[in-house]
Amino acid sequence: MNNSSLSMIFLLLAIAGLVFGISVVAVSRRKARAVPKIQRAVTEKTPIAPVLDTAVVDAVVLDAAVQIAPPLSVRDRLAKARSSLSGAVGSVLGRSEINDATWIELEEALLRADVGVRVAQSLLGALQARVKAKEITTPTQLIDALRNNMSSQLIGTSRDLNFEANIGGPNIWLMVGVNGAGKTTSLGKIA
């Protein structure tokens, strides 16, 4: 290799390095313009609160104690469900006609009284069909029909405990009830 060809290679390498450097600077400036600059937030220094006397703090804490209400008894919970249902029944009976608001109010009352969603929908669905067929025309007839439908669904249920000794395995019984109703006590008596 002669001297002129080496000079040419160094010149090409220098030009390539210069082009690469310029492109890196140009790209970084473009990115810097695209990203907004974050300015430092100016924070004010708040003075530290003076130390309070512990006697005053204790007095404040004692006054702020929250009174926890005792849990409601079974009778109280049942009375609450009964009152919400009877309030809705009274409201429906005070109406002059059966409309959409009547159905909404009855459904809400049934759900608040812990009637299941499917049961409430089946009760009200049957009543809506009877209203459309013009069998029921007044709110009084509607409430009477609701009462009869609810009673008829409870008539066919058996409350007998079936113990089958010959099945060769354990008998499984499902105990259902609200908290404090006596499920555990009843199971202890059965055992």
Q: Are 128 and 100 in contact (CB under 8 A)?
A: no
* pLDDT, tens digit (0-9, with 9 covering 90-100), for 4-30: 788 888 888 889 888 888 888 887 777
Across the range 123-142, mean pLDDT stands at 91
Higher-confidence position of 85 and 122: 122
Alpha carbon distance 35, 143 (integer Å): 69
Q: If pLDDT is split at 50, 70 and 90, which confidence band does 110 have?
A: confident
| Superfamily designation of domain 74-155 | SRP54, nucleotide-binding domain (1.20.120.140)
Q: Please determine, for residue 63, whether its predicted confidence score (pLDDT) is greater than 70.
A: no
